[in-house]
Amino acid sequence: MKPRNLIICLLLAGVVGLSVNAQAQTRRFNAKPGLLKVRIEGTSNIHDWQVEGKIIGGFMEVGPNFPTKPGQEIKPGKVDAKVQAFVPVRSLISVEKDGKPYNTKMDDIMYDKFLAQQFPRLVYTLNELVLKEAPKAKDQPYVLDATGELAVAGVTNKLSMPVNVTPQADGMIKITGTAPLKMTDFKIEPPAPAIAGGLIKTGNDIKILFEWVVAEKK
């Protein structure tokens, strides 16, 4: 082999090697059923209300600078991560404060407001993830700023919120977060159920809370 060809081959091999290496460093995690929780809290003129679900489907692909091990050293700055997560609307159920089912009529009103027939899922897509400060102790969660988009009832809005990322010793990663939302931002008129003669009026401000546990896809 001529020296020139040898150089080309080595360069090509290097490029392929780098690519393989980059792929190897991207790790994919999938939602782990049984350990998931989403909760929406709201208000009304008679009492506060809440709905809960146990399904947050989706996946997360992360680069080497995403915390996947407890105590992993991560430098502040942009973190490589791609996330798509979703919640099936009908998996959300109104509950009492103690978690017992509240009222199927309220569930139906909620599904109707979410336009569940046309848009059966709430969908979240991450655009950017930034670590501002590394945790000061090994057992503390990594607090990152997540910027993404949330699609509800056919309307997509930008959503920025802090998320806590806690790598577990067993390899799973727990991600929790809370975000305030307004129903009208998603073109949802706050419900005033007809079954109560329209006397019950819900507030426009709601809060969404989630616990998302993911495990690496083997």
Q: How far apart are CA 194 and CA 23, in angstroms?
A: 55
Restricted to residues 35-54, the positions that interact with other proteins (CB under 8 A) are 54
Within 83-207, where are the H helices? 104-113
Cα 47 to chain center, whole Å?
A: 28
What Rg value do the Cα atoms of the chain yield, rounded?
A: 22
Q: Which is nearer to other proteins, 111 or 119 (CB)?
A: 111
The residues, ordered by sequence, that sit 6+ positions from 180 with a Cβ below 8 Å of its Cβ are: 205, 206, 207
Looking at the DSSP assignment, which residues form a beta bridge with residue 50? 41, 95
By CB atoms closer than 10 A (0-12, 13-18, 19+), residue 69 is exposed
Among 29, 31, 135, 167, binds other proteins (CB under 8 A): 31
Among 8, 15, 18, 33, binds other proteins (CB under 8 A): 33
Least distance in angstroms from the C-beta of 142 to other proteins: 25
198 contributes a contact to other proteins by CB under 8 A: no
Restricted to residues 69-128, the positions that interact with other proteins (CB under 8 A) are 86, 88, 90-91, 93, 95, 100-101, 104-105, 108, 111-112, 117
Least distance in angstroms from the C-beta of 34 to other proteins: 6
Report the interface residues with other proteins, using CB under 8 A: 30-31, 33-34, 54-55, 57-58, 86, 88, 90-91, 93, 95, 100-101, 104-105, 108, 111-112, 117, 195-196
